[in-house]
Structure 1
Amino acid sequence: MHVAPGLKVLYFGTPVVLVSTRNEDGSANLAPISSAWWLGQYCMIGMGGSARTTQNLLRERECVLNLPSSAMVDVVDRIALTTGSPEIREYRQKQGYRYEPEKFKLAELTEQPSELVSPPRAAECPVQLECRLVDAHPLGTDANGEKGFATAFQLEVLRAHVEEELVIPGTHYVDPVGWDPLIMKFCEFFGGGENIHPSRLAQGWQMPHDL
């Protein structure tokens, strides 16, 4: 029997992506997201309309999508409740978000120069996708009825960098068995089909999980 519980969150399971962009002062920003999908050489990602990464993408029109493996879950969790914006909205403060201008340092990741775009890659991530912004689509309305509660970004992947051991020898394909992406499912971290790490984000959203 089906029920209609009025779901608060619809994160049924997508890969975690660390999006690197450039701030207005030229410094690097890094943001974990879990709303992303690919088709051909294009990608759609979604973020809150007030996020620093959203502002950076709209201004600079380029980014790097760094895909961590499930083994990097602790790296992602370190920056899960941080923001690159000094001004934090009240509901974010209640969730436990704090301002952090040096997310690469907090995550203990290395800034690696990109080849075609300005934002750096995260050297430790097995997959890094250099992208340019094609279009941005405001979604929904905020509490004040203003458009742009969230933004969907259409990105073109200009160059993909993949750890050599993940590429099937003699081909242009990633080994689907060797590649174990970090998955976020209803604000919890999963790898290999198992819940693998406590999630600060789930705590911030007060998710009623018993894991």
Structure 2
Amino acid sequence: MHRTTHHTAAPHRTGAPHRAIEPHILYFGTPVVLLSTVDAAGVVNLAPISSAWALDRTVVLGLGPDGRTSHNLAARPELVINVPGPQLWRQVERLGDTTGRPDAAHFVRDKFAHAGLTPQPAELVAPPRVAECPLQLEARVADLRSDATGEFLVVEAHVLRVHAAESITVAGTDYVEPAAWSPLVYNFRHYFGLGAELGHSSRSRTPRRPTT
């Protein structure tokens, strides 16, 4: 007589329990950038944003429609996307409640001086770079439009030139050294840097560092 063995399927594991939530914002770990722009009269504005991501040489930005940055880009579609490191979080925070609009509360005429940052001439566009930022992207607006809700502006900026501090590059190459570079990250309205490297993508072209 043959005995039949029944195999019970292992339960499907779905990880830790989840629950539905309604957070006020969805900044789930996004880089902070400082946008420098100029108006039609050449007056400089500097503003922090935390809605920025890159597609090859295009950087997509999310802006409030009533801010000075949006008005400047509509009048003069040039900008510098300055990418600060974690050590600049206090300077970024000083700019958070300021505005470049003279008719608004918290108006600051010289945002650079207010934040303790240094303007540095750009090479291809009118707005200045932020000298303290290790990465600086000179760019020109390719498209500026309202988002689907009508509450924000979506800017597609084409990068014309990239400036990188020598300290974060691989010597003799055009590559940024990931182990030397850490962006300032806005994580649910708290500031963070990156932790230790976990691994690299198979698409990475950065020269490998020797292992010990």
TM-score under structure 1 normalisation? 0.81
Find out whether 1:157 has 2:159 as its counterpart. yes
* Equivalent-residue separation in structure 2 for 1:87 and 1:79 (angstroms): 17
Aligned-residue offset at 1:26: 1.3
Gaps (5+ residues) in structure 1? 89-96, 142-146, 194-211
* Equivalent-residue separation in structure 2 for 1:61 and 1:121 (angstroms): 15
Aligned partner of 2:103 in structure 1 is: 87
Aligned partner of 1:109 in structure 2 is: 117
* Equivalent-residue separation in structure 1 for 2:91 and 2:40 (angstroms): 25
Which letter does structure 2 place at the counterpart of 1:137? R
* Equivalent-residue separation in structure 2 for 1:59 and 1:24 (angstroms): 6
Q: Which has the higher contact order (CA 8 A, sep 6+)?
A: 1
What is the total number of aligned residue pairs between the two structures?
180
Which letter does structure 2 place at the counterpart of 1:52? R
Aligned partner of 2:83 in structure 1 is: 67
* Equivalent-residue separation in structure 2 for 1:55 and 1:139 (angstroms): 16
* Equivalent-residue separation in structure 1 for 2:43 and 2:139 (angstroms): 18
Aligned-residue offset at 1:140: 4.5
More deviation, 131-140/11-20: 131-140
Deviations 1:109-162 (A, max 9, x none): 111111000001111111110000000120244xxxxx3x21010010000000
Aligned partner of 2:198 in structure 1 is: none
Matched residue SS, 2:63: strand
Closer/same/farther in 2, CA of residues 43 and 128 from structure 1, 3 Å limit: same
* Equivalent-residue separation in structure 2 for 1:175 and 1:80 (angstroms): 29
Matched residue SS, 2:147: strand
Deviations 1:81-111 (A, max 9, x none): 11111333xxxxxxxx611111011011111
**Equivalent runs, 1:141-180 vs 2, <5 Å:** 141=149, 147=150, 149-180=151-182
Matched residue SS, 2:180: coil
Matched residue SS, 1:13: strand
Aligned-residue offset at 1:24: 3.3
User: Is contact 2:39-2:73 (8 Å) kept?
Assistant: no
Q: 2:73 aligns with which of 49, 57, 61?
A: 57
Matched residue SS, 2:142: strand
Greater C-alpha Rg: 2
Find out whether 1:126 has 2:142 as its counterpart. no
Aligned partner of 2:143 in structure 1 is: 135
Aligned partner of 1:184 in structure 2 is: 186
